[in-house]
Amino acid sequence: MARSWGVHWGAFVPCILIGFFYGAIAEYVSFTPRVPDRFTNIPLYVLVSALAGLVMVAITFAWSVRTVLLFDGGLVFLFSQKTTTRVIGWHTVPAASVRALWTDHATIGRVVRPRTRSLFTSIGVKGRYGVLFSGADVAAQVPTGQAPAGQAQPDAPVVRTFLFAQRTDTAPLVHAMAALMRARGVPGAEAIGWTALPPTRVSTPIVVGE
C-alpha cells in the first residue's frame, strides 16, 4: 500500500465565505413576523457561518488523500467505490517504463506534461516525489466480455502513463512494484531497482507518454 496526500488550502477561504453566504441566507429564511429583525445576534451568526464553512473545508479532505493497493496481480486505485475501482495488471507494465522522479517544485505534477492528455492519469494527489510508469488499467468488476446480460461491457484495456506523486521517498514503492512484477514474471523486472532508482531530478517540464 502507498499513500499520497495534500491538503487543498486554496479551498479554505472560499469555503468560509460560502459558509457566511449560507448563514446570511438562513437569516432571511428564518425571518418571521415574530422575529422581524435580522442579524440581531451577530456573534451567533458568525459562529454558525464559520462552522458551516469549516464543515465544507472538512469535505475537501475526502479527495485530499489517495491510496493505491499492491497485490500479486496488479495495482489497484480509485477503490472507494465498486464502480470506480481500477486495476493495472503487472503483466501490462513494461519494466523499463518504471521511473522514480523528484523536483524542487511544490509538486512533481507541475513538471510532468502528458503528450496526450487522454492517455495520462495522475493517481496521486501532490508531492515532490513521484513514480512514473506505463500500463493498461481496466475496471475491476468483471472481466471484459463477461458482464451480465443487459449491462454495459467493461472497457477494454488501454495503455496509459500513470503518475503517483508522494511527499515521501518513493523507493519503498518502487522496490515493492519490482518485487511483485518479478514474481509475476515480467521481463526486466529484476533490473527496476537500479534503473528506476535513485530518483531522477526534474527541474524543467518533461513530456511523457506516446
Q: Give pLDDT tens digits for 45-80.
A: 788 888 887 787 777 666 566 678 889 989 988 877
- Where in the chain are the domains? 8-63, 71-208
Q: Rounded to an integer, what distance in angstroms lies between the CA atom of residue 69 and that of residue 58? A: 25
Of residues 33 and 82, the one with the higher pLDDT is: 82
Percentage of the chain modeled with pLDDT above 70: 76
Which phi and psi angles does 109 have, rounded to 5°?
A: -65, -20
Q: How confident is the model at residue 107 (pLDDT cuts 50, 70, 90)?
A: confident
Predicted local confidence at residue 60, as pLDDT: 66
Of residues 95 and 14, the one with the higher pLDDT is: 95
Predicted local confidence at residue 5, as pLDDT: 44
Predicted local confidence at residue 109, as pLDDT: 86
CB 136 within 8 A of CB 159: yes
Q: How many CB atoms lie within 10 A of CB 129?
A: 22
- Nearest residue to 1 via CA among 158, 166, 139, 136: 166
Strand 200-201, strand 99-102: pairing: parallel
Binning the chain into helix, strand and coil, the percentages to the nearest 5 are 35, 25, 40
Predicted local confidence at residue 153, as pLDDT: 47
Of residues 77 and 37, the one with the higher pLDDT is: 77
Which phi and psi angles does 46 have, rounded to 5°?
A: -65, -45
CA quadruple 27, 28, 29, 31: dihedral positive or negative?
A: positive
Q: What value does the mean pLDDT take over residues 83-98?
A: 90
Mean of the per-residue pLDDT values of the chain: 79
Q: How confident is the model at residue 91 (pLDDT cuts 50, 70, 90)?
A: very high
Predicted local confidence at residue 10, as pLDDT: 66
Q: Which helix (H) or strand (E) holds 136?
A: strand 129-139
**Model pLDDT for residues 124-177, shown as the tens digit of each residue:** 877 889 999 999 988 865 444 444 444 444 556 778 899 998 888 889 999 999
